[in-house]
């Protein structure tokens, strides 16, 4: 996905749009650009690489006055990351500039038609088609917004876009379909951005534009209509968090800050959702009566990446506590394999960003099959949150680090609450229910305790920062934790890592093991401990370097591990909330020690809004 910004007001636009862009860099960072209307001319600057390269290319601010501007940071979809393909894209007359987030499905036939009409293209992007389309309609339409409206009627695909023109120097026009866009309302100034983090420094008053809406902004105000010119009554929301939520503070990286936020974010996930009176929980956002919840015969959990790993943990816990069959599936597979969604099936899509294209498509497929679909998301007003029939916000706050950490533990917390809720409506006893909710509220303190091992974990990370491979093993509800630990390591340190069920290692991966292979084993005290211990001995016999995540007081594991990271004891089904913490820190420190860009790893973006 990409990040886009627009500004119109009384201040110089250039520094404002570039600063706002830096707040969106986590959305994509292979190239960036900005465009302002300066003395009636269009000034466009674009650079490959991170936004710091763009800042270096901006000439003397005194030469960049102008109070209307746009900017863009890119995660390349069509066309390699270079200056030509960076946004803003401009028209043939160099009077129009446009920035876009999304994919234009029918850009090829449109491009051919525009070339026949004499338009000259400079980039390999799908986006450039849009600016030439608007240019073509400006030959007949009298205002910018009508030219944009007519152009978008020909476009198939997804877009969040902003366009400016020297012919209409006091105007911004934005359109949304499938990619998020927000209008920030300041004091005699307005901001169009991809998400709140880029506006919060200026205003907490925002309007979440909806699909099919076009927003025209001038110095005197704004107007929102549908593409077929029906007026839209704007709903102004107040954002309930502040700038500190998107600052690193004393932390070196956002990822480390977000790892350390987890005691609070786990508490935020369950706050107000525990019902002591009946030893159960409450998830009002599901919009389902108790009777409807009781009728559920099957649950499907659909997600990508880390959110998928959270869902896999949810499967184990919901089946254990509620005895309801749970299917978990990658969204990209679910959406294309014609899934079977029987009656009385409740589908949950899990997505931190609420914008992941595959997960959104899976939601739409499940709804097409007639299912009720709930969203477990973190971003208020996100597409998935809006298109779900109900759902639960995880309240983790803005997660900037591309590698998801606090969102994962908050997602797992929500799934624990769901398991208790559904279980207590079935065979889970009040005593068991109380045991779970009582232990759940102890988890934040236990996470705090694990975080005190941060320096020890950094020292362990030093011992295998130059590894080329790593194997993560776990059993039962800690098997998905092994998957998540492996994903964390590979996506920020670029070391190949695999997660495996500990017992499955004998059926192949054991061939990989030698004295150079770090094997990280999640081995807390639980009913499967002895089995995991046996697996550990098999690994040890092959001279692997073993790091274990163990329950405090376990000295047996110390005897066969090179390093042991201890965690407090807890209920088996709650262990993932603790066992994942050392793995997050391990991945973070390995990547940091390798001198890599932990918050913005290569080739990745915070939310993948393309297929």
Annotated catalytic sites, by residue?
2, 606
**178 binds ligand AGP, rule: CB under 6 A:** no
**382 binds ligand AGP, rule: CB under 6 A:** no
**600 binds ligand AGP, rule: CB under 6 A:** no
Selected range binding ligand AGP among 173-181, 267-275, 315-323, 352-360, rule: CB under 6 A: 352-360
Q: How far is the CB of 359 from ligand AGP (least distance, A)?
A: 5
Q: Which of 129, 519, 587, 608 binds ligand AGP (CB under 6 A)?
A: 608
Q: What is the DSSP letter of 157?
A: B
Q: Is 444 helix (H, G, I), strand (E, B) or coil?
A: helix
Name the residue nearer to ligand AGP (CB basis): 262 or 353: 353
Which residue in 3, 93, 87 sits closest to 45, CA to CA?
Answer: 87
Dist CA 9 CA 11 (whole Å): 6
Q: How far is the CB of 331 from ligand AGP (least distance, A)?
A: 8
Q: How far is the CB of 354 from ligand AGP (least distance, A)?
A: 7
Distance of CA 516 to the CA centre of its chain: 34
Selected range binding ligand AGP among 11-19, 281-289, 304-312, 422-430, rule: CB under 6 A: 304-312
Distance of CA 194 to the CA centre of its chain: 13
Dist CA 483 CA 497 (whole Å): 9
- The footprint of ligand AGP on residues 220-259 (CB under 6 A) is none
**352 binds ligand AGP, rule: CB under 6 A:** yes
Q: Which of 77, 359, 388, 548 binds ligand AGP (CB under 6 A)?
A: 359
Q: How far is the CB of 360 from ligand AGP (least distance, A)?
A: 9
Q: Which of 197, 306, 478, 551 binds ligand AGP (CB under 6 A)?
A: 306
371 Cβ contact partners less than 8 Å away, ≥ 6 residues apart: 300, 341, 345, 346, 347
Q: What is the CA radius of gyration of the chain?
A: 25
Kindly tell me the sign of the dihedral angle through the C-alpha atoms of 299, 302, 305, 307: negative
Selected range binding ligand AGP among 39-47, 184-192, 300-308, 420-428, rule: CB under 6 A: 300-308
Selected range binding ligand AGP among 22-30, 262-270, 298-306, 530-538, rule: CB under 6 A: 298-306
**392 binds ligand AGP, rule: CB under 6 A:** no
Q: How far is the CB of 319 from ligand AGP (least distance, A)?
A: 22
Which residue in 352, 397, 47, 7 sits closest to 198, CA to CA?
Answer: 7
The tokens describing 155, both together, are: 């476009």
Dist CA 30 CA 33 (whole Å): 11
**607 binds ligand AGP, rule: CB under 6 A:** yes
Selected range binding ligand AGP among 277-285, 350-358, 560-568, 575-583, rule: CB under 6 A: 350-358
**351 binds ligand AGP, rule: CB under 6 A:** yes
Q: How far is the CB of 505 from ligand AGP (least distance, A)?
A: 23
**388 binds ligand AGP, rule: CB under 6 A:** no
Selected range binding ligand AGP among 78-86, 185-193, 299-307, 576-584, rule: CB under 6 A: 299-307
Q: Which of 279, 300, 307, 345 binds ligand AGP (CB under 6 A)?
A: 307
Q: How far is the CB of 19 from ligand AGP (least distance, A)?
A: 25
**356 binds ligand AGP, rule: CB under 6 A:** yes
The continuous run of DSSP H or E covering 316 comes out as: helix 305-322
Selected range binding ligand AGP among 182-190, 269-277, 400-408, 426-434, rule: CB under 6 A: 400-408
Q: Which of 402, 421, 486, 519 binds ligand AGP (CB under 6 A)?
A: 402
**304 binds ligand AGP, rule: CB under 6 A:** yes
Dist CA 377 CA 375 (whole Å): 6
**353 binds ligand AGP, rule: CB under 6 A:** yes
Number of chain residues interacting with ligand AGP (CB under 6 A): 15
Contact between 206 and 183 (Cβ < 8 Å): yes
Burial of 575: CB neighbours in 10 Å, binned 0-12, 13-18, 19+: buried
The end-to-end CA distance of the chain, in Å, is: 10
**491 binds ligand AGP, rule: CB under 6 A:** yes
Dist CA 256 CA 171 (whole Å): 41
Q: Where are the alpha helices (DSSP H) in 464-550?
A: 479-493, 529-541
Name the residue nearer to ligand AGP (CB basis): 114 or 347: 347
Dist CA 265 CA 560 (whole Å): 35
Name the residue nearer to ligand AGP (CB basis): 156 or 611: 611
Selected range binding ligand AGP among 209-217, 365-373, 401-409, 569-577, rule: CB under 6 A: 401-409
Q: How far is the CB of 608 from ligand AGP (least distance, A)?
A: 5
Q: How far is the CB of 310 from ligand AGP (least distance, A)?
A: 8
404 Cβ contact partners less than 8 Å away, ≥ 6 residues apart: 305, 306, 307, 352
**410 binds ligand AGP, rule: CB under 6 A:** no
**305 binds ligand AGP, rule: CB under 6 A:** yes
Contact between 352 and 605 (Cβ < 8 Å): no
Residue nearest to ligand AGP (CB): 305
Name the residue nearer to ligand AGP (CB basis): 199 or 352: 352
- In the chain, how long is the greatest CA-to-CA distance? 80
Burial of 307: CB neighbours in 10 Å, binned 0-12, 13-18, 19+: buried
**195 binds ligand AGP, rule: CB under 6 A:** no
DSSP string, 173-241: EEEEEBS--EEEE-SS-EEEESSGGGTTTT-SEEEEPPTTEEEEEETTEEEEEETT--B-----EE---
Dist CA 428 CA 203 (whole Å): 47
Q: How far is the CB of 59 from ligand AGP (least distance, A)?
A: 36
**403 binds ligand AGP, rule: CB under 6 A:** yes
Q: Is 561 helix (H, G, I), strand (E, B) or coil?
A: coil
Name the residue nearer to ligand AGP (CB basis): 353 or 478: 353
Residues within the interface to ligand AGP (CB under 6 A)? 304-307, 351-353, 356, 359, 402-404, 491, 607-608
């Amino acid at each position: 996905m990409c990040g886009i910004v627009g500004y119109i007001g009384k201040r110089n636009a250039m520094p404002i749009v570039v600063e706002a862009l830096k707040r969106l860099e986590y959305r994509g960072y292979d190239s960036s650009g900005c465009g302002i209307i300066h003395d009636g001319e269009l000034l466009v600057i674009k650079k490959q690489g991170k936004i710091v390269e763009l800042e270096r290319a901006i000439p003397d601010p005194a030469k960049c006055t102008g109070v209307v501007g746009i900017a863009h940071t890119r995660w390349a979809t069509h066309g390699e990351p270079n200056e030509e393909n960076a946004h803003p894209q401009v028209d043939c007359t160099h009077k129009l500039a446009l920035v876009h987030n999304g994919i234009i499905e029918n850009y090829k036939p449109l491009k051919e038609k525009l070339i026949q009409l004499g338009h000259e293209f400079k980039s390999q992007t799908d986006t450039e088609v849009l600016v030439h389309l608007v240019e073509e309609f400006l030959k007949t339409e009298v205002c910018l917004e009508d030219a944009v409206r007519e152009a978008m009627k020909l476009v198939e695909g997804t877009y969040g876009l902003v366009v400016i023109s020297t012919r209409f120097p006091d105007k911004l026009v934005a359109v949304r379909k499938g990619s998020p866009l927000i209008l920030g309302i300041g004091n005699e100034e307005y901001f169009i951005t991809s998400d709140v983090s880029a506006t919060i420094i200026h205003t907490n008053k925002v309007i979440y534009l909806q699909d099919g809406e076009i927003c025209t902004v001038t110095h005197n105000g704004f107007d929102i209509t549908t593409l077929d010119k029906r007026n839209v009554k704007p709903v102004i929301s107040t954002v309930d968090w502040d700038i500190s939520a998107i600052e690193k503070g004393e932390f070196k990286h956002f990822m480390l800050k977000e790892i350390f936020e987890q005691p609070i974010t786990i508490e935020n996930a369950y706050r107000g959702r525990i019902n002591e009176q009946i030893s159960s929980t409450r998830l009002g956002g599901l919009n389902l009566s108790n009777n409807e919840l009781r009728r559920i015969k099957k649950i499907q959990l659909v997600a990508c990446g880390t959110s998928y790993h959270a869902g896999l943990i949810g499967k184990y816990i919901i089946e254990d506590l509620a005895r309801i069959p749970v299917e978990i599936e990658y969204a990209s597979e679910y959406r294309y394999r014609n899934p079977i969604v029987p009656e009385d099936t409740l589908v949950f899509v899990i997505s931190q960003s609420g914008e992941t294209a595959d997960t959104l498509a899976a939601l739409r497929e499940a709804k097409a099959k007639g299912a009720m679909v709930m969203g477990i998301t973190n971003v208020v007003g996100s597409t998935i949150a809006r298109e779900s029939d109900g759902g639960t916000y995880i309240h983790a706050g803005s997660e900037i680090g591309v590698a998801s950490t606090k969102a994962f533990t908050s997602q797992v917390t929500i799934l624990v609450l769901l398991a208790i809720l559904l279980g207590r409506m079935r065979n889970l006893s009040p005593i068991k229910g109380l045991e779970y909710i009582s232990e759940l509220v102890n988890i934040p303190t236990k996470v705090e305790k694990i975080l005190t091992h941060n320096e020890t974990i950094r020292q362990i990370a030093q011992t295998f920062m130059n590894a080329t491979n790593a194997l993560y093993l776990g059993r039962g509800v800690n098997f998905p934790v092994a998957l998540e630990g492996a994903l964390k390591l590979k996506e920020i340190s670029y070391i190949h890592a695999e997660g495996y069920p500990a017992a499955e290692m004998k059926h192949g991966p054991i061939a990989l093991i030698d004295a150079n292979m770090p094997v990280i084993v999640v081995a807390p005290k639980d009913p499967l401990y002895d089995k995991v211990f046996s697996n550990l001995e098999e690994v040890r016999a092959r001279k692997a370097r073993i790091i274990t995540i163990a329950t405090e007081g376990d000295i047996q594991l110390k005897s066969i591990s090179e390093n042991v990271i201890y965690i407090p004891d807890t209920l088996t089904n709650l262990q993932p909330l603790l066992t994942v913490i050392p793995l997050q820190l391990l991945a973070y420190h390995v990547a940091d020690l390798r001198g890599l860009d932990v918050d913005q790893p290569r080739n990745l973006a915070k939310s993948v809004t393309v297929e």
